[in-house]
């Protein structure tokens, strides 16, 4: 059943219960090979932090790229669970994973070249990057993300969420909102000067953060550049005509960190009373004339006015903020299956990075 032990050539992974087989190159991880083949493998961070890519090794030899015990429990390890994003193959393997049924119907990702058409500063640390692609990207859903690289400059791709619903983009264009991460390679390069005209490569679409079919009240919470996929989702709700009550709580430090306010106003106009945008500032000076809410965006979940147990939540932004929002929503009575999120992991969240 198994091939010969080899470190050099590609190895085959047989995936059950879908019955698919994929080839995994010697330098590729299992998740990357599966996503490149268009398999709807659950995932988020791709750096061994979130645990969403976990699957069961039924048979065969693997090489873990990191210690799975940072993320997986003792029982999961006992049961043969592994993290696909941290796994290289050392032999033919058999793997059990439940593929995402909706994602299975989506187009497989594709790598497409393009050029930065313009880059516009939205706040002191967030840049809107518009890219004109050489050809259209396969259809994506609002909320999904792509991988961006700059050939010859930054070859290792970084993930960025599409900042607009597909119907709001010009054909063959995509946009991302990119926050400067201090000492971050890609974002320091992008923010250093106007990079319009530079060639880039965009691979996608990826991810399973998209609007679920439901008219349940929708509570969106985002911080920083996490606004991007939420804006795309809201544009989709707005384009379809608001069939549900929607509240978007946006956490920022000061008024200087607020952006897309005109987009939010436009969505509110179309919402005809169904949509509220609530910015919450955590570090606005006491002396300022800001008369909106202050504190952490998750604090306001304890306020009256949200029917938390009967709502769906869509969360996006820094991992710490999402974790506290999930805790607050669970305490408020929301069931886990109605909480959808994308955590913006970066290399500092890599499994073991801080160990
Ligand atoms: C699904 C998804 C969607 C995302 N969408 C967006 C988005 O729409 N907008 C957005 O702004 N961001 C988004 N991100 C985050 C984005 O992918 C990048 O991680 C981020 O932009 C930082 O990239 P960088 O190259 O500048 O930083 P990197 O060079 O990757 O470094 C990031 C940080 O980690 C530190 N670091 C680097 N290597 C290590 C190490 N080995 N150990 C410890 N620390 C280390 C660096 O000093 C830096 O502080 C998303 C992430 C995910 C997973
Ligand atoms: S995608 Fe593998 S641990 Fe997050």
What is the number of domains present in the chain? 3
What is the CATH number for 176? 2.40.30.10
**183 within ligand 1 shell (Cβ under 6 A):** yes
**34 within ligand 2 shell (Cβ under 6 A):** no
DSSP letters of 201-255? Answer: EEEEEE-S----S--S-EEEEEEGGGHHHHHHHHHHHHHT---S-EEEEEEESSG
- 42 and 136 co-located in one domain: no
**179 within ligand 1 shell (Cβ under 6 A):** yes
Nearest CA to ligand 1 atom 5: 160
Residue where a domain terminates, one of 60, 87, 103: 103
- 264 and 233 co-located in one domain: yes
Per-residue pLDDT of the chain (355 residues; tens, 9 = 90+): 333 444 578 999 999 998 899 999 999 999 999 988 888 898 888 889 888 899 999 999 999 999 999 899 999 999 999 999 999 999 999 999 988 776 667 778 899 999 999 999 999 999 999 999 999 999 999 999 999 999 999 999 999 999 999 999 999 999 999 999 999 999 999 999 999 999 999 999 998 899 998 999 999 999 999 999 999 999 999 988 888 999 999 999 999 999 999 999 999 999 988 999 999 999 999 999 999 999 988 887 766 677 899 999 999 999 999 999 999 999 999 999 999 999 999 888 775 554 3
- 265 and 292 co-located in one domain: yes
- 99 and 137 co-located in one domain: no
Strands 54-59 and 93-96, sheet pairing: antiparallel
Residue where a domain terminates, one of 103, 135, 155: 103
**178 within ligand 1 shell (Cβ under 6 A):** yes
- 135 and 236 co-located in one domain: no
pTM for the model: 0.89
Q: 107 near 204, Cβ under 8 Å?
A: no
The parent domain of residue 190 ranges over 108-206
């Amino acid at each position: 059943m198994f091939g010969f032990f080899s470190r050099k050539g590609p190895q085959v992974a047989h995936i059950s219960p879908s019955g698919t087989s994929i080839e995994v190159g010697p330098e590729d991880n299992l998740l990357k090979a599966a996503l490149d083949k268009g398999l709807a493998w659950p995932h988020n961070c791709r750096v061994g932090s979130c645990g969403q890519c976990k699957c069961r090794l039924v048979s065969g030899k693997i090489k873990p790229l990191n210690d799975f015990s940072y993320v997986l429990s003792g029982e999961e390890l006992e049961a043969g669970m592994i993290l696909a994003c941290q796994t290289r193959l050392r032999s033919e393997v058999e793997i059990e994973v439940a593929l995402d049924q909706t994602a299975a119907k989506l187009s497989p990702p594709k790598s497409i070249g393009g050029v930065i058409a313009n880059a516009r500063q939205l706040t002191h640390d967030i840049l809107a990057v518009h890219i004109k692609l050489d050809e259209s990207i396969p259809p994506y859903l609002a909320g999904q993300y792509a991988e961006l690289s700059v050939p010859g400059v930054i070859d290792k791709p970084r993930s960025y969420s599409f900042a607009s619903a597909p119907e709001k983009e010009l054909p063959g264009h995509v946009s991302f909102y990119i926050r400067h991460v201090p000492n971050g390679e890609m974002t320091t390069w992008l923010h250093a000067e106007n990079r319009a005209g530079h060639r880039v490569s965009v691979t996608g679409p990826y991810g399973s953060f998209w609007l679920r079919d439901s008219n349940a009240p929708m509570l969106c919470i985002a911080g920083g550049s996490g606004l991007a996929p939420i804006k795309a989702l809201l544009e989709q709700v707005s384009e379809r005509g608001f069939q549900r009550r929607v509240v978007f709580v946006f956490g920022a430090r000061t008024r200087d960190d607020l952006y897309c306010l005109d987009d939010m106003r436009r969505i509110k106009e179309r919402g005809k009373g169904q949509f509220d945008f609530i910015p919450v500032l955590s570090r606005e000076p006491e002396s300022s004339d800001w008369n909106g809410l202050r504190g952490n965006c998750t604090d306001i979940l304890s306020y009256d006015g949200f029917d938390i147990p009967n709502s769906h939540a869509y969360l996006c932004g820094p991992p710490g903020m999402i974790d506290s929002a999930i805790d607050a929503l669970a305490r408020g009575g929301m069931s886990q299956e109605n909480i959808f999120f994308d955590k913006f992991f970066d290399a500092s969240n890599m499994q073991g990075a801080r160990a």
